[in-house]
Every structure is written in structure tokens, then in C-alpha cells.
Amino acid sequence: MTIYKILLLAIVIVISGNNFLFAQDEEQENADQYELVSIEFHGNNSIPGSVLETVISSKTTPNWFYKFLHKISSSLGLPPEYFDSLKIPEDMKALEKYYRDNGFFETRFSDEYHINKDKKEATLIYNITEGPDFKIRHFAYQGLDSLPSEFREKILSDYFVDTTKTFSRSLVDKETTPVISFLRDNGYMNADIKRPDVYVYPDSDFVDINVGVFPGRRYKVDSLEVEKKGPGKDYVEDTLIKKIVSISPGDYYSADEKQRAQVRLYRTNLFSSVLISGVVPDSNRSLVNLNITGDITKMNDLSPEIIINNQESAFNVGLGTTYTRKNFLGNARTFTLGGSFAIQDVFNVDYSKIFGFVTSIRDTSILGYVDLRASVEQPFLFDRRISSKLEGYFTINKQKQYRSLIYGTKISLDFELPRKVYFNSLVTYYQAERTVDNLLEDYVRTVIKNNAASTNTPLSPAREDSIVANLRSSRNITSIIGADIGANKTNDMMFPTKGYNLSLTLEEGNFIPSLLKRLGADYINVRSQFYRLQTTVSYFPNVYNSNVDAFGIKFRVGYLQTYQGRKNDVPLNRLFTAGGSNSVRGWRARQLIPRAANIPITTAADFQNLFLRDVPVGGTFLMEGSFETRNRFVGSIGGAAFVDYGNTFMGYQDFKFDRLAVAVGLGLRYYTSFAPIRVDIGFKAYDPYERKAFLNLYNRSKHIFKDLIEIHFGIGEAF
């Protein structure tokens, strides 16, 4: 044992010994106390006990594992919770308030507790007689007389409480709080609303509600004042900042427009911090000045980066660097030039070969991409609030089945949508690219050998070499018109626990070249036309009634159809694959693809025909989904359990339920301020290619950790 190991062991022993001694002292101090092992609620027919337990201050003691960790270190695990009879009156008041806020005004409570002196344990019981739930009979606003008639009519028609429902404080707040937003978005900068007055009528089980509204004055914008600081303050004009804000003197004050203007300023990347505040210079006038205070960064920026992402449902790790020129040629344009490379499937890489470029390209264990791109982005298009981006790119993408060389250009238009529309995001784009796809030799030989075995077709090594030597590269020039549409209706963008998320991608391939050819451009060669659709729905039903625990359901379906030409002329990067950290987690990224048909292969043309018919590196129909529960354990540490299913097919006609792969697994989460870092372990519960379940898949010829289990790392949740 080296001196370093001895020192490390000594440090661990000292730290553990100190923590153990502290834990012993803590146990001696609490020797006369009883751990609260259970809190029970009896008679709570309308509100679950799990919800009531979050209301009271008494808490049950954690399980043995958390207490064990806490003994090792006070920063780990959780300490034991002890019974305290002095908390009971406080708990009773909290329960009474919670029931009243949910329409139960005649609820009665009593308590009892049981002590087990031998085990040093206590059980606390709250007996509840709920009584009737009170319905809303009458609802009215007060204080609207000073508003214009159209505002009064909108508030009374759009923001009202259903008088057939049981009273709930949260229900009333949900319907009345938007009144303040409406007023503050229409000039009433200081509008406020008081806590609703609730009049209870015990004899009839009804309540009447009066809500007091205080609109205050209606303000117009008088002027915009800009205050700049920071190293780049001399390179950005005040007029440009005001143009980005897009609020003019004479407009009625709007809190929503002010917030949107602040977001627009941040999106230019000119500011490290920026704030727009409303100031009333004269209390006798209904005018407000908007003060824009911003810290402007340097105009030139060179940033190295470590890449960790989940692009294409794979855990990618790599390096990159980006040069950024801000306010490029004025008008808040941003010029960006960057390069990056990333490796997929990092646990199966021979790292000794990574730094040999030619070897890395040929080595089948090294998967990933190299990417170079330049772009210009501006916040306006024809003086409209449309963020536009023009970029050119060059990418080498290497997968187990093929290697692609892709270069092209893309124009994207990101529309700023009104606040009260169903969809939150709309991005349209036009993309023209050239792809050169080469099937890799190892993959081709594997397909040929499997085909020879399944079709009983003898094939000599010379014939196999001839087939491989005569295969051609697939070369395509593709023109894509597309749109990404999204509606996020969850309660939190990064950590959703309730609501739903909908995304839709629509693409059409080669319409413009085909149109130009029909108009007389005979030199244009259009090999295929296709359309591609993909939609994803994620739903969080809030079964835990919690802001930290969630149950989620995901369903994704995709379809690609060629309506002119052959489907093997569709670029490989437009086909569907399944498997990976954001897909079916019992398989690696892009591992779930359609199997080749049992057609004998004796020539390169046979292989080309097989590739034409079955496209064995991707499918034209995708179906996949997930069920996942996410639960916090302690602080920022949490876990997940999931069931994933899915596969790709050669068209929807090829779909069968017994061809869906199924994976089950567990995950560990560390929740940071920006996104969770996750590790998921997926098990092949059902393999559609072997038509066997997990227990039947394992045999002596298979290594359980190599063949039946996949470990995935990821940034952000799987969906």
C-alpha cells in the first residue's frame, strides 16, 4: 500500500470517527425522545393524507438509509424526526385553515397519539369530521366603475368564478389574478386586488364572494431613457436599444410589453444584465418614463467549450470553440464562427485511436461528429419582430452503419407570437444541403453474412469482397422547407410536474428544385420528393400534487413518405431511428432500426436493391413512448423509474405491436439550477428481434451487462 493510500485511509477514518462521535452525542441528547414513525389522518374523505401531511409542521422520521447517511455526515441523508406534542395546536390551526381554504367551514378536529416506550417510537393521529363542502352562490367584483366600459365588460365576461363549484381559495385566485395582469397590460401600472371577502352561510352551505379591484391611474409612456455601462457601451447606439425595445412614447404602459422588450434585449447577446423600469416623474400626471439600464459586454468574444449534450438521443462528449462578433455591421446582428467535435457512446471507445484522424474515421468503435459552421443572426426582419438567422455548415457524422458528409445552408425565422395564443413558438426554415452517405464496410459485411445465413445462400469470400467493392456512395442535394411548432402548457419549463407539452415538425423535401425544373431549369436533377412529419406529446397529470415529484407520459410518432422517386434517395439523416438516452433506454442510440428482408444477396445490385427496399439504416415510420416517475430524495438528489417502448418500421403498414421494443429501468438525478444531470440504467424487457422477454433473453451465451443492459448519461430530463 503506497503512502498516498495510507494517508487517504487515515483521513477517511478520522472524518468518519468524528462524525460517528457527533452522532453518538446527538443520540444521547435525544435519548428521552420518541421518533415519530407515523402520522395518520382518519375521516379525510375529500383531501388525501399525503396532501395534509405537507400542511402540518410535524413530520415523520425518515427511513433507516437516510438516517444512516446522516450519521456518516451531517450534509448527507436526513436526521430523525421526533414527536413533539407542542406542535399539535399549530398543526390543528394549519389543518383548519387548509380545510377552510378548500370550502369546508364546519370541519372539526381532534388528536391522539400512541407511545411505544420499548421501541422509542410514537404514532400521531388526527381525527377529522369534514362536514359539508360549501358551494359558491354569488361572485362579484367591486371597484370597476372607473374603468372604460369595454374593460368592465371583458373582466365580467372573461374573469369570473363558476358558481356551481365548491369554494376554493386557489380557484378564486386562479380566476381573479389575471385581472391584475389585464389591467397592468393596458396602462394601469399600479393596479391591485385585495384578498377576496368570503361570506359564509352555514344554514344553506353557500358562500358569497366579493373581490375588490383598485385600478389606479391609467399611464402612458412619456419617454425612454437609456443608461449604458460596461466595456461595450460606446459601440451600441441608444437609438438601436430603443428600436429593439419597440415601445413608443404615447403608448399605454404594458407590463407584458416591458417584459417582452427585456427578453428581446437579452436575446441580442449584447447585455450581461439589463433592466427596464417604470418611473413616474410627476405624481400629478398620468405619464411614466421607461428607464433602460444595461451592462453591455465586449463586442468580440472567443469561447472554448466542453460539449455535453443529448443530440440524436445519444450522450455526446466533446470540445469546441466559438468566435462571436456582436453588433456585426450594426442593427444588433451577431456573427458567429465555430467548430466542434463530439464522441458518442463514450464507454465503448478505444481512446488510443481518437487522435489519429484517419484511424478515427475508419475505426467502428468511434462514433460521433465533427462540425464547422458560421452564422449571422439579427433580431428584426423588415422591421418586424422576427428573429432571423442565416448559417452555413460542414459536418462529418459517423454512425455504426454509415458515414455522412453534409454541407449546406439554412435560413431560420423565429416569430414572436402574441401572449394569448395556443402555440408558444413558431420557427420556419429553408435548408439546402448536399449529403454524401457511405455505408461502412463492417456493417455491409454483417448484413451480407446474416442474409446468407437466413436465406441459406452460400457466399464465397471473393463474392463478398466483390459486393463490397462495387457498392456506390449515395449522393443527394436536398431542399427542405420546414416548420417547428410548439405549445408548452407545463408549470415549469425545466422541471415540469403538471400540464403538457406539444411539439410538431413539418418538412417537405425538394419542392423548390422540382418547381424550378418544371419551369424550364432542366439542369436541375431531382431524385426524390418527400414529406416528413413528427409530433411529440408529453403529459404530466400531477398525481403527486407536488412541485418536486412528477409522473410523466410521452408519446412520439413520425412518418416519412416519398411521393416522387425512390426512398433510398432520401438522405439518411432524415430517416427515423430509435434507442438512446431520450428514446428507448434499453438500447443504444440509433440501434432500433428495421431489419433487412430475407432476400438472397449475390451481387452489389442485390444489396442496392435490398437497401432500396428496406433502408436498413433507418425507418420511415416511428412510434415510441415512455412512462416515468421522478421523485426527489434529499435536496438536489432524486431518482426515476421508467418504462420505454418503441421502434422504427418501413412504413405504417409494417407496424405490429409485437415489434415494439420494451425497456424498463431506474435512474439517478442531480438537480442543478439550470438542468438535471441524469444517469439511467435500461434493461431490455422485451427484444422484438428475438421475440423474447428479459428472463428468456439471458442465457450463458449472453453477458447481461454487455447485451441486456445499457447505461445512459444525459443533461436534462428524457422528456
* Sole residue written with cell 443520540: 27
pLDDT of 172 higher than 80: yes
Task: Say how far apart CA 306 and CA 13 lie, in whole Å.
Answer: 36
**Residues 292-350: tens digit of each pLDDT:** 999 999 999 998 988 776 666 566 788 999 999 999 998 899 999 999 988 876 655 55
Q: Bridge partners of 325?
A: 300, 335
Residue 673 and residue 90: Cα distance in Å, rounded? Answer: 33
Integer Cα distance of 690 and 674 in angstroms: 41
Distances in Å between the Cα of 344 and the Cα atoms of 56, 579, 589, 666 are: 48, 13, 9, 21
Q: What would you measure as the largest C-alpha separation in the chain, in angstroms? A: 97
Q: CATH fold of 220-296, please?
A: Ubiquitin-like (UB roll) (3.10.20)
Between strands 676-687 and 661-671, the pairing is: antiparallel
Nearest one of 117, 185, 128 to 151, comparing CA atoms:
185
Of 83-97, 262-276, 352-366, which range is least confident? Answer: 352-366
For residue 521, give every residue at least 6 positions away whose Cβ sits within 8 Å of its Cβ, in sequence order, or none. Answer: none
Amino acid at 366: I
* Gap between the Cα atoms of 37 and 81, Å rounded: 8
| Helix, strand, or coil (residue 209) | strand
pLDDT the model gives residue 612: 42
On average, the pLDDT of the chain sits at 84
The 3-state secondary structure of 434-493, one letter per residue: EEEEEECHHHHHHHHHHHHHHHCCCCCHHHHHHHHHCCCCEEEEEEEEEEEEEEECCCCC
Count the alpha carbons within 13 Å of 597 in the hemisphere toward its beta carbon.
15
H or E element in which residue 120 lies: none
For range 558-567, the mean pLDDT = 86
The rounded distance, in Å, linking the Cα atoms of 414 and 566 is 33
Q: Rounded distance, CA 411 to CA 376, Å? A: 10
* CA atoms of 554 and 543, how far apart (whole Å): 15
Strongest mean pLDDT among 60-64, 72-76, 258-262: 258-262
Query: Which contacts qualify for 388-391: CB closer than 8 Å, 24 or more apart?
Result: 388/412, 388/413, 388/414, 389/414
pLDDT above 70 coverage of the chain, percent: 84
Window from 296-305, 375-384, 387-396, 691-700 with minimum mean pLDDT: 691-700
Q: CA 61 to CA 663: how far, in whole Å? A: 35
The pLDDT assigned to 460 comes to: 75
Name which residue leads in pLDDT, 139 or 357.
Answer: 139
Cα–Cα distance between 341 and 319 in angstroms, integer? 6
pLDDT score at 471 = 65
Strands 637-649, 621-634: pairing is antiparallel
Residue that the C-alpha cell 454509415 belongs to:
402
> pLDDT tens-digit profile of 405-435?
899 999 999 998 887 789 989 999 999 988 8
Dist CA 351 CA 316 (whole Å): 15
**Distance separating alpha carbons of residues 408 and 406, to the nearest angstrom:** 7
Q: Does the pLDDT at position 700 exceed 70?
A: no
pLDDT-wise least confident of 118-127, 167-176, 445-454, 467-476: 467-476
Q: Is 707's pLDDT higher than 90?
A: no
Q: What is the pLDDT of residues 654-672, one digit of tens each?
A: 899 989 999 999 999 988 8
pLDDT reported for residue 464: 73
CB neighbour burial string for 284-295, b if at least 16 within 10 angstroms, e if fewer = eebbbbbebebb
On whether the CB atoms of residues 155 and 145 are closer than 8 A, the answer is no
Indicate the domain borders of the chain.
33-129, 135-214, 220-296, 466-596+604-715
Q: What are phi and psi of 229, to 5 degrees?
A: -150, 175
DSSP character string of 626-677:
EEEEEEEEETTEEEEEEEEEEEEESSGGG--GGG-EEEEEEEEEEE-SS-EE
Instruction: Look at residues 353, 369, 376 and name the one whose alpha carbon lies nearest to residue 402.
Output: 369
CATH fold of 466-596+604-715: Porin (2.40.160)
- Does residue 615 have a pLDDT over 50? no
CB 667 within 8 A of CB 681: yes
Cα angle at 598 between 594 and 603, to 5 degrees?
A: 105
Average pLDDT over residues 169-181: 88
How many CB atoms are closer than 10 A to CB 170? 9
Q: How far apart are the first and last CA of the chain?
A: 47
Band of pLDDT at residue 82, cut at 50, 70 and 90: very high
Is the predicted pLDDT of residue 106 greater than 80, yes or no?
yes
pLDDT, position 149: 92
Mean pLDDT of the region 456-470: 72
Confidence grade of residue 486 (pLDDT, cut at 50, 70, 90): very high
Those residues with Cβ within 8 angstroms of residue 270's Cβ, 6 or more apart along the chain or in another chain = 232, 236, 294, 296, 297, 326, 327, 332
What confidence score (pLDDT) does residue 202 get? 87
Rounded to an integer, what distance in angstroms lies between the CA atom of residue 41 and that of residue 112? 11
* Mean pLDDT of all residues in 106-118: 93
CA angle (346 as vertex; 343, 348 as ends), nearest 5: 120
- Cα 203 to Cα 134, 135, 342, 516, 519, distances in angstroms: 10, 12, 71, 79, 81
Q: How far apart are CA 306 and CA 205, in angstroms?
A: 63
CA angle 574, 576, 580 (to 5 degrees): 120
Q: What is the band of 609 on the pLDDT scale with cuts at 50, 70, 90?
A: low
Reply yes or no on whether the pLDDT at 355 is more than 60.
no
Neighbours of 448 (CB within 10 A): 22
Report CA dihedral (170, 172, 175, 177) to the nearest 10 degrees: -80
Measured in residues, the chain has a length of 719
The pLDDT, as a whole number, for residue 231 is 93
Concatenated DSSP letters for 282-348?
A: -TTSSEEEEEEEEEE--SEEEEEEEEEE-GGGS-EEEEEEEEEEETTTSTT-EEEEEEEEEEESGGG
- Is residue 451 within 8 Å of 601, Cβ to Cβ? yes
Q: Give the pLDDT confidence score for residue 258 in this predicted structure.
A: 94
Q: Read off the pLDDT of each residue in 585-590 and give the average, rounded to a whole number.
A: 85
Q: Is 153 or 441 the better-scoring residue by pLDDT?
A: 153
**Identical fold, 33-129 and 466-596+604-715:** no
Q: Is 526 helix (H, G, I), strand (E, B) or coil?
A: coil
- Cell numbers for 539: 403529459
pTM above 0.75, yes or no: no
The CATH class of the 33-129 domain is: alpha beta
CATH number corresponding to 135-214: 3.10.20.310
Determine the pLDDT at residue 240.
Answer: 93
Q: Give the chain's count of helices (H) and strands (E).
A: 14, 27
Q: Are 310 and 316 in contact (CB under 8 A)?
A: yes
Burial of 189 (0-12, 13-18, 19+ CB in 10 A): buried
* DSSP, residue by residue, 16-82: HHHHHHHHHHHHHHTTT--EEEEEEEES-SSS-HHHHHHHSS--PPPPHHHHHHHHH-TTSS----B
